[in-house]
A and B are shown apart, each in its own frame.
Chain A
């Protein structure tokens, strides 16, 4: 059928993302650690840190940067813990957040997304550690799809199996223990080319929330009594 042939033609002629545009986080210190290549395409990058170390905040920067360039991002939120307000943005790139019913289903979701060859960045967050065979399969699919796969895990969880090319570890301390909080984050790259740690600050997003406070509707006008009336 003609439609099938057109789809085949589209697949075969689909341009690859230009090599001159690396996937970056927008946080200069982290991007320096990643190098000129950025988050490597066709490979697995592991994003490691304890709770409140700022890894999701940096990841948000990576997703937003990609979307602002018009790239397509899929985010598998295995624990269903993302807050929609943090990720709503008018950027032109596609963003699908996949929230499977169980965390154990998350790797299957990532596999389906990578097989579609429709995304430039796939994030797998909160999934159980990947077995070796599954890691290798996802890496091959990522290479075929010309997509970057970022696997996010807690610092206490077992490392993922398979060929992890880059591993960024995040640690943080509270710099200003008052509201709004400020974190001093240190990112290190413990796999790949050695480089000194990157340090930067993260803040709590209080001003954004206050700015979106909805106005209360008008109250009905109250009847005023004439001065001097009984």
Chain B
């Protein structure tokens, strides 16, 4: 925002505001369940602190500054997502780019809260005027996942902002020349007073902008100095701020309209390949990499289908983009043949230079990423996982599967011997205990879990222990070994107290069963191998 040379001439400015922008971004990107109370939690030390709450959570008693544990105690259904302020600016830029479809100039308001945009609303008479502009903006925002967008249009930025935030309908148009009258009916909060001045005004009994208008200018300037001058100007709707600057470029988008409807996946894949080559060239020309894409298909029955994809890391390479999208395209269940294929970059970030590890014993990161994208695209995002330890004595909970979202860029072969004949290579570090060049591993049995633990089908003896169990299709006699008593978790609200047993079958199989010490119920958890 700056003061243009023509400041003071008649202008029209629109202000678009996404209330609670951080929550809206989280709701859009983190996808909590619809209607579920949402809170954003900032990790601090061992716990978390609530930084933002939506209306449902607020109604349930969750407050800003509470610890995450207390907030969950207040509202058991609360969905906690991490507080990530760094992505707000990126999301604002992306939304500004999309709103640019509806208005000639849209810029994020750097001097306002994230999620506020200034829009040039002048000279739109032939495009339906200001009501049509507001409708277009709301429609685009809804499409992009921001259904709560509020619009205010006025002669000045301060009045437009106040109109957007005023209670009532989401769109408010202040007539030309009506800023001072509109602002006069509002409370002083609409002027964004500094905290000390707001306190002073409250002590003086000033509540509304009209009260400020009624005061004589001289004593006010004597009491509050130059700051009062700016306030008085704002109160009368004199605000030099205008949307200026270069409008954000729309994210790259490529499309292919087919000569005739196509229902064969191979033909669509062929078209997709060409599209992605063009898209990659555009990304490269602008130094960008796509971090979120949408694959949109227009069908012959006039319906549209869309799938949004987020790669493991921002992509620019056409081959990797193709691997990312090909399986998504194959998994579309289409009701009608396709007439148009479109790939839209929803979010892009500056492409980073990639370090190539020439001569180092490592694997091709790009190929691994392609495999990851293919597996996730074909079988779901949670298909590829890696084990992580967890602090729990129960065997089935002593680790957790963490979805693999990216591929390490650095060579991961820290212990790999240098390639013979090469002067390069990683320096072998002192590794785990070696025995004649072979890492020593203590052999031990491992647990195999049933996909879902199920009640143990058993016949019990007088002591209440199983003497025969149903394993497969037949009843087998068993010898019981145990119990191994495990209890804990009472401090988390999900306490357990159980007795684990090993059930030895005649043919040598060892089943792993558990008896709930409080309810007496038996569960078959798995076997050992």
Contact = CB atoms under 8 A, between A and B. Distances in A.
Interface of A: 1, 3-4, 6-7, 9-11, 13-18, 20-21, 24-27, 31, 50-58, 60-61, 64-65, 68-72, 79-89, 91-101, 105, 108-109, 112-113, 115-119, 171-174, 177-179, 181, 183, 200-206, 209-210, 212-214, 216-217
B2 interface: no
B330 to A, nearest CB: 12
Interface string B491-529: 100000000001010011110000000000000001111
A85 B390 contact: yes
B383 A100 contact: yes
B288 to A, nearest CB: 14
B123 interface: no
Interface residues on B, range: 35 or more
Contact of B443 (A21, A26, A83, A214): A26
Contacts of B284: 1
Contact of B491 (A24, A31, A119, A216): A216
Contacts of A17: 416
Given A10-B364, A85-B390, A97-B401, A178 B375 contact: no
A7 B364 CA distance: 8
Interface string B358-379: 1101111011101100110011
Contacts of A11: 364, 367
Nearest to A117: B367
Interface of B: 280, 284, 316-317, 319, 354, 356-359, 361-364, 366-368, 370-371, 374-375, 378-380, 382-393, 395-401, 404, 408, 412-417, 419-420, 422, 426, 431-432, 437-441, 443-451, 479, 481-482, 484, 488, 490-491, 502, 504, 507-510, 526-529
8 contacts: A6-B356, A10-B357, A65-B441, A84-B387, A85-B387, A88-B388, A203-B444, A216-B488
A162 B5 CA distance: 80
A205 B444 contact: yes
B399 A116 contact: no
A181 B502 contact: yes
A53 B375 contact: no
B450 A81 contact: yes
B358 A96 contact: no
Given A18-B417, A56-B448, A118-B364, A27 B502 contact: no
Contact of A88 (B361, B389, B450): B389
B518 to A, nearest CB: 18
Given A88-B388, A95-B386, A112-B374, A68 B443 contact: no
Given A57-B443, A94-B408, A203-B445, A100 B399 contact: no
B399 A84 contact: yes
B377 to A, nearest CB: 10
B417 A99 contact: no
A109 B380 CA distance: 12
Contact of A69 (B383, B401, B415, B445): B415
Contacts of A52: 445, 508-510, 527-529
B482 A183 contact: no
Contacts of A13: 358-359
A124 B389 CA distance: 23
Query: Which of A52, A81, A206 has the most chain B CB atoms closer than 10 A to its own CB?
Result: A52
A97 B431 CA distance: 24
Contact of A113 (B280, B371, B378, B446): B371
Contacts of A4: 317, 319
A82 B415 contact: no
A82 B449 CA distance: 6
Given A69-B415, A83-B446, A97-B384, A178 B392 contact: no
Given A21-B417, A56-B446, A100-B379, A85 B510 contact: no
B395 A209 contact: yes
A206 B444 CA distance: 10
B30 to A, nearest CB: 23
Contacts of A99: 382-383, 385, 401
